[in-house]
Structure 1
Amino acid sequence: MKKIGFLSFGHWSPSPHSGTRSAADALLQSIDLAVAAEQLGADGAYVRVHHFARQLASPFPLLAAMGAKTTSIELGTAVIDMRYENPLYMAEDAGAADLIAGGRLQLGLSRGSPEQVIDGWRHFGYAPAEGETDADMGRRHAEVFLQVLKGEGFAKPNPRPMFPNPPGLLRLEPHAEGLRERIWWGSGSNATAVWAARQGMNLQSSTLKDDETGEPFHVQQARQIRAYREAWAEAGHTRTPRVSVSRSIFPLLDDRDREYFGRGGKEEDQVGFIDEKTRAIFGRGYAAEPEALVAQLRADEGIAEADTLLLTIPNQLGVEYCAHVIEGILTQVAPALGWR
């Protein structure tokens, strides 16, 4: 059995061919798709965060709105780039959104990846400390965020406050009980997966990771997940961690599916450099008739190791079509693989 959700980058473009021609379209349709996915029986609605781009960027107003319109589906991010974040302000936003959603947030964080602008986090007022890289800064912000989510007091109260205080040091409010255990780390390497395990975070692994062995992507991803679980056990955490992977999967059920995705071209892994030092491997996509799709997915070792599958959806094709894709996987593919 697996939890199955969608992952939207929330692209928008003023092109007449786009179903999301404005930021408002992308935001409002994301809410509508979360409602539709819940009605179809999907388990999660996740959004990506990119700055300086025509994509979803500020997740907490959107997650709160999703939470107000749904009742049971998990709501999450994959991922928030922590290089851009004030971790204390983020903890307040996350606490509020989680309370509105009734404790359904599943927040994926990461140190980030190459973005639209050079050192974009500097425009947000952040810079690495002396001797730090920007990746170090992102992980430091994450550690502060995790600490304040525990709900422990740390701030000395004003002796003459505007309003009465509870006794002792003060914590950030609103506090969302249990959110600390629903934080994930988006890991692009085996080493950062191990770090995430030691920090007590769940693991998100996407279709992009460092090419560390030259093996097929799904094999490397499965090794990464096993390394994470080993590190989790060694750290002595008492709860069972969760692990998600993301995939582009399209069952070809009608002529529209075949027109959009039936022409092939993404059946192989791709290898390249995401920066001057990092050789990366990008996992293949899947598009086939349901019977063939089942056989292909059964051989994917990364999916087999995960308990949660996030389906990347083509949001610019509109809510109705994305819901059609999700329904096709839930009804035509997942049962044959034992995921449902």
Structure 2
Amino acid sequence: MKKLGFLSFGHWSPSPHSGTRSAADTLLQSIDLAVAAEELGADGAYFRVHHFARQLASPFPLLAAVGAKTSRIEIGTGVIDMRYENPFYMAEDAGSADLIAGGRLQLGLSRGSPEQVVDGWRHFGFQPAPGESDADMGRRHAEVLLELLKGEGFAQPNPRPMFPNPPGLLRLEPHSKGLRERIWWGSASDATAIWAAQQGMNLQSSTLKADETGEPFHVQQARQIRAYREAWKDAGHARTPRVSVSRSIFALVNDQDRAYFGRGDGADQVGVIDNMRAVFGRSYAAEPDRLVEQLRADEAIAEADTLLLTVPNQLGVAYNAHVIESILKHVAPALGWRGGPAAGPEAKAA
């Protein structure tokens, strides 16, 4: 069994061809899609975070709203750029959102990706320490957050407080027990995956990877996941870690699917991003039987326990719900990811 969720980048555009023409459209449709995905039997609703862009940016209001509207589905990010984050304020926001969701938050973090502006984190009041890169700063912010999420007291109480204090040093509130074990790190290299394991974080293997061997994306990604799990074992953590990968996967089951995505198979792409040679994973789009065979050959999907389907959010809630249901109904059972067809409206009508 494999957990299946969706990952939305939350784009909007004033174009008449877009189903999300404003930030309000994207936010409200994100909530509606999470509700629909839960009804279909999906396991997760995840959202990308980008600053200075017409995309989802501040995740916690959205996560809290999704948490209040759903009851079962995991709610997460993929990922929050920690170069921009005050870990103290973030610990309070995350604790609040997790409590509203009843402990379903799966918080994905990273050191960040290429930006819309030059050194955007400086506008948020952050700058690397002497001798530190911006990536180092992001990882340092993450380490502080992890420590705060343990819920241990660290602040000296005021001897004359406005309200009575519990005994001892004070921690940030609200504290959500267990959230520390539901933190994920988005990694594009073997080295940062190993670092994430050492820190006791779950792994979100990125939609791109540093091209470290010249092999196909899914082969390098599978090797990264195995290195992560070995580092986790060496670190001596008691619990079993989780690993997710993200893919664009479309089962072509009707004419609309074929019109949107039936232009032939994708292929890995190689490019340079942030001065790093990177390999980008392919998209999958095929008739269900052929799609099953293609996905069966993807080594990284086989290694992961969670698969996030990247959805074209500007095509609207109904179509994206169809994309998710098509995978749950026509693909997942054949690969052993599900015991049977999805229980959503389309499945019931079949």
- What TM-score bracket applies, with the shorter chain setting the length? over 0.9
Q: For the residues of structure 1 that align with 2:50 and 2:318, how far apart are their CA atoms?
A: 24
Given that 1:206 and 1:247 are in contact with CA atoms closer than 8 Å, whether structure 2 keeps it comes out as no
| SS of residue in 2 equivalent to 1:193 | helix
**Which amino acid in structure 2 is aligned with residue 336 of structure 1?**
A
The 5-angstrom pairing of residues 70-85 of structure 1 reads 70-85=70-85
Q: For the residues of structure 2 that align with 1:336 and 1:207, how far apart are their CA atoms?
A: 24
| Alpha-carbon shift at residue 291 of structure 1 (Å) | 0.3
Residue 277 of structure 2: aligned partner: 279
Deviations 1:283-310 (A, max 9, x none): 1000000000000000000000000000
Deviations 1:113-169 (A, max 9, x none): 111001000000000000000000000000000000000000000011000000000
Residue 251 of structure 2: aligned partner: 251
Q: For the residues of structure 1 that align with 2:129 and 2:274, how far apart are their CA atoms?
A: 22
| SS of residue in 1 equivalent to 2:19 | coil
The 5-angstrom pairing of residues 52-67 of structure 1 reads 52-67=52-67
| Alpha-carbon shift at residue 206 of structure 1 (Å) | 2.4
| SS of residue in 2 equivalent to 1:162 | coil
Are 1:314 and 2:307 counterparts? Answer: no
Residue 193 of structure 1: aligned partner: 193
**Percent of residue pairs identical:** 84
**Which amino acid in structure 1 is aligned with residue 307 of structure 2?**
L
TM-score normalised by length of structure 1: 0.99
Q: For the residues of structure 1 that align with 2:26 and 2:207, how far apart are their CA atoms?
A: 23
Identify unmatched segments of 5+ residues in structure 1. none
Residue 294 of structure 1: aligned partner: 292
| SS of residue in 1 equivalent to 2:170 | coil
Q: For the residues of structure 2 that align with 1:176 and 1:10, how far apart are their CA atoms?
A: 27
Residue 158 of structure 1: aligned partner: 158
Q: CA RMSD in A?
A: 0.5
**Which amino acid in structure 1 is aligned with residue 321 of structure 2?**
A
Deviations 1:29-79 (A, max 9, x none): 000000000000000000000000000000000000000000000000000
Residue 268 of structure 1: aligned partner: 267
| Alpha-carbon shift at residue 267 of structure 1 (Å) | 1.7
| Alpha-carbon shift at residue 226 of structure 1 (Å) | 0.1
**Which amino acid in structure 2 is aligned with residue 303 of structure 1?**
I
Q: For the residues of structure 2 that align with 1:187 and 1:4, how far apart are their CA atoms?
A: 20
Residue 333 of structure 1: aligned partner: 331
| SS of residue in 2 equivalent to 1:331 | helix
Given that 1:186 and 1:204 are in contact with CA atoms closer than 8 Å, whether structure 2 keeps it comes out as yes
| SS of residue in 1 equivalent to 2:253 | coil
| Alpha-carbon shift at residue 111 of structure 1 (Å) | 0.2
The 5-angstrom pairing of residues 23-172 of structure 1 reads 23-172=23-172
| SS of residue in 1 equivalent to 2:309 | strand
Q: For the residues of structure 2 that align with 1:40 and 1:34, how far apart are their CA atoms?
A: 10
TM-score normalised by length of structure 2: 0.96
Q: For the residues of structure 2 that align with 1:52 and 1:128, how far apart are their CA atoms?
A: 20
Are 1:232 and 2:232 counterparts? Answer: yes
Q: For the residues of structure 2 that align with 1:207 and 1:283, how far apart are their CA atoms?
A: 6
| SS of residue in 2 equivalent to 1:45 | strand
Residue 209 of structure 1: aligned partner: 209
- Provide the aligned length of Structure 1 versus Structure 2: 338
| Alpha-carbon shift at residue 275 of structure 1 (Å) | 2.3
| SS of residue in 1 equivalent to 2:79 | strand
| SS of residue in 2 equivalent to 1:60 | helix
Q: For the residues of structure 1 that align with 2:48 and 2:207, how far apart are their CA atoms?
A: 13
**Which amino acid in structure 2 is aligned with residue 331 of structure 1?**
K
Q: For the residues of structure 2 that align with 1:115 and 1:43, how far apart are their CA atoms?
A: 30
| Alpha-carbon shift at residue 207 of structure 1 (Å) | 1.9
Given that 1:252 and 1:288 are in contact with CA atoms closer than 8 Å, whether structure 2 keeps it comes out as yes
| SS of residue in 2 equivalent to 1:129 | coil
| SS of residue in 1 equivalent to 2:238 | coil
Given that 1:81 and 1:138 are in contact with CA atoms closer than 8 Å, whether structure 2 keeps it comes out as yes
Q: For the residues of structure 1 that align with 2:70 and 2:279, how far apart are their CA atoms?
A: 36
Identify unmatched segments of 5+ residues in structure 2. 339-350
| SS of residue in 2 equivalent to 1:327 | helix
